[in-house]
Amino acid sequence: MVQNEPLGVTAIEPDEFTDFVANRATALLRTAYLLCGGDRGAAEDLLQDVLERTYRKRGRVRGGLEPYVRAGLANAAANRWRTRSRRVPEAPLERAADPGTWTDEAARLADRDRVATALGGLPPRMRAVLVLRFFDDLSEADTAAALGCGVGTVKSQTSRGLERLRTLLDTPVRS
């Protein structure tokens, strides 16, 4: 720890950051995946960008790394959504799974895809609130702190978001 740091700021060593990424990358990628509305490529890019920015600022991180990165993911996902219409869309290269596993997991994957698609249909801030509250299991206060808003905003966005998700998920899938 450096002697002249501002109150509440602890310098994070490169090895500590490497350990954090090694231990938490999978969970953070799942969060990014949901924040990106089920687009794995966008989630990987989002997580990489946020981890890179966090690494550069690791000497000024207040609190723990995980809350800082989660807040960064939520904010960066909202920013990407705003600028997405200006970019040329990328087409992911799909890999075929073993046909023997298709029947075992087909229903689970269909449900997961419906939820991810429904989340993608929500506004970015509402989606961020729901992902942080229910997927990452953050409290209302922690979610508000991560997003830089009030607890009342988290409560109202949660209520409205759940109602919209129910509506989107109750709609039959078109074939």
For 27-58, write each residue's pLDDT tens digit: 999 999 999 888 898 899 999 999 999 988 87
The alpha-helical segments, DSSP class H, found in the chain are 14-35, 40-56, 65-83, 99-120, 124-130, 140-147, 151-170
The answer to the question of residue 2 being in a domain is no
- pTM equals 0.59
The answer to the question of residue 3 being in a domain is no
- What is the average pLDDT value for the chain, to the nearest integer? 80
pLDDT of residue 11: 60
pLDDT(65) > 70: yes
Query: CATH number for the domain including 130?
Result: 1.20.140.160
Which domain range does residue 64 map to? 14-85+116-170
- Rounded to whole angstroms, how far apart are CA atoms 73 and 56? 15
- Rounded to whole angstroms, how far apart are CA atoms 66 and 136? 11
The answer to the question of residue 161 being in a domain is yes
pLDDT(88) > 60: no
Between 106 and 154, residue with greater pLDDT? 154
Between 9 and 136, residue with greater pLDDT? 136
pLDDT(161) > 90: yes
- Rounded to whole angstroms, how far apart are CA atoms 141 and 145? 6
The answer to the question of residue 4 being in a domain is no
Q: Which segment of 20-34, 56-70, 96-110 scores lowest on mean pLDDT? A: 96-110
Distances (CA, A) of 27 to 31, 45, 69, 97, 132: 6, 15, 11, 23, 12
What number is the average pLDDT over the span 147-172?
A: 90
The answer to the question of residue 93 being in a domain is no
The answer to the question of residue 122 being in a domain is yes
Nearest CA-CA partner of 63 in 173, 145, 119, 167 = 145
The answer to the question of residue 45 being in a domain is yes
The answer to the question of residue 51 being in a domain is yes
Number of domains in the chain: 1
Using an 8 Å Cβ cutoff, are 140 and 151 in contact? yes
Looking at the DSSP bridge assignments, the partners of residue 62 are 9
3-state secondary structure of 36: coil
What number is the average pLDDT over the span 109-122?
A: 85
Amino acid in the structure at residue 30: R
pLDDT of residue 6: 47
Tokens of 82: 């705003």
Q: Which segment of 4-8, 49-53, 166-170 scores lowest on mean pLDDT? A: 4-8
